[in-house]
Amino acid sequence: MRSLQDSRNEIDKIDEEMIKLFERRMEVCKDVADYKLKTGKPVLDRKRELEKLEALKGKASDDFYAHGVEELFEQIMSMSRKMQYKLLTEEGVNNDIGFDIVDSLDCEGARVVYQGLPGAYGQQAATEYFGEKEEYINVTTFREAMRYVRDGKADYAVLPMENSSAGIVTDVYDLLVEFSNYIVDTFDIKIEHCLCGLPGTKIEDITEVYSHPQAFMQSNKFIEEHGWNKVSLANTAISARYISEQTDKRRACIASENAAKIYGLDVLYKGTNFNSTNTTKFIIVSREKITRRNAGLICISFEMPHASGTLYQMLSHIIYNDLNMTRIESRPVPEKKWEYRFYVEFEGKSNQAGVINALSGINAESLNMKILGNYVIVF
């Protein structure tokens, strides 16, 4: 029997030979990249790769090795493509992703749209970000807000993207893909929900509460402890206005203290949300494809063929270019059963070589990739 050390020594020698062969192969791939640059051929030739993989698998001595050969060469081909994208970028191909770089957002005299009535958290977010002097427009739905920006009726929209307790706002994610508007900034506001009722209402009077589904999720423990029925409305401010129009003190709402003040309600309990650090991330959306000079996060969306390993292949472009992924979310693709769209956020600037390489690869190998924005990191 051979000693363990002898076997390890032989593996070391084989590995050294494999490295030499790998580097030799990659050098030849540079010639391939040069040819594709001159002829305009795409880097990914999926038909050729599949044919090549089948041929290589056929050279293996059994099924186990055939599967290993397939995995090995899928990775080698993936690295080859990444190198080709890099070389093409260095030659000036695909090195402009179309964002204009600005020092700051033009907020002077801006028309800003938010979803909900005065007193909604959207209004609070808008005034905290832009100040009291700007022109504010409130609309009923997130879609209307996106449409106002697209059609030039507003310069910016302020929309909720994610809550630290309840998760993402799915409708907003979907609308970012549907509309040609872009995230130009994000910021956080602390959320403190309140139980609000008609003047003179006592907590023990209440049997039914009204609010937005997100507010219910964030206040679920408080509501369940009291056994109240829940009725969903479009947002918290609409819920406050609705209660202000009632005469039945058995009805109350979950809304902000500001909404209670606007609609003449009593605050019966502060902090109905179970998480005292409850925070909502809002995005600033513009129809202009701009990014600030100090931006450090990029958000993209893409779909993929429904096949094994495709998500890994997409994310490997981020890993290979030394980029740090900070978020990944998925949403069903409308009218495509069991197919999903992915939203990925990672650190980087729109003019950064590694970012351009990664985006080139993902764009070539995924379906319907879209850059949703490049914005400043919020700590």
Per-residue pLDDT tens for 90-140?
877 766 678 899 999 998 889 999 998 899 889 999 999 998 877 899 998
> 277 lies in a domain?
no
Task: Give residues with Cβ within 8 angstroms of 313, minimum separation 6.
Answer: 78, 365
Total domains, the chain: 2
In a domain, 185, yes or no: no
pLDDT on residue 308:
77
Q: What pLDDT does residue 40 have?
A: 85
Question: Is residue 280 pLDDT above 60, yes or no?
Answer: yes
Instruction: Please report, for the domain that includes residue 222, its CATH number.
Output: 3.40.190.10
In a domain, 287, yes or no: no
Does the pLDDT of residue 379 top 70, yes or no? no
The confidence band for 180, taking pLDDT boundaries of 50, 70 and 90, is: very high
pLDDT, mean of residues 212-237: 92
CATH number of 49's domain? 1.20.59.10
pLDDT score recorded for residue 218: 87
Adjacent-strand bridge partners of 367: 303
User: In the predicted model, is pLDDT for residue 6 greater than 60?
Assistant: yes
Residue 47, domain extent: 1-93
Could you say which of 270, 300, 333 is where a domain stops? 270
Q: What is the pLDDT of residue 96?
A: 67
Q: Would you please indicate which residues are annotated as catalytic (active-site) residues?
A: 280, 282
- State the average pLDDT over residues 56-80: 92
| Nearest-angstrom CA–CA distance, 339 and 350 | 29
Q: 340: helix, coil or strand? A: strand
Distance, first Cα to last Cα, the chain: 59
What pLDDT is attached to residue 199? Answer: 96
Domain limit, last residue, from 270, 300, 322:
270
- Of the chain, the percentage scoring pLDDT greater than 70 comes to 99
What are the φ and ψ backbone dihedral angles of 375, each rounded to 5 degrees?
-140, 175
- Model pLDDT, residue 167: 83
- What string of DSSP letters covers 224-283? HHHT-EEEE-S-HHHHHHHHHT---TTEEEEE-HHHHHHTT-EEEEE--SS-TT-EEEEE
Residue 177 lies in a domain: no
pLDDT above 90: residue 266: yes
Please say whether the beta carbons of 293 and 197 come within 8 A: no
> Mean of the per-residue pLDDT values for the chain?
91
Mean pLDDT of 187-201: 94
User: What is the mean predicted confidence (pLDDT) over 81-89?
Assistant: 85
> Is the pLDDT confidence value at 176 over 80?
yes
Evaluate whether residue 323 is within a structural domain: no
Burial degree of 59 (CB within 10 A; 0-12, 13-18, 19+): exposed
Q: Is 217 within the bounds of a domain?
A: yes
Is residue 295 a part of any domain in this protein? no
Instruction: Give the pLDDT of residue 95.
Output: 65
Query: Do 275 and 84 form a contact (C-beta atoms < 8 A)?
Result: no
What pLDDT is recorded for position 273?
87
The domain boundary, picked from 45, 72, 93, lies at 93
The reply to whether 212 falls in a domain is yes
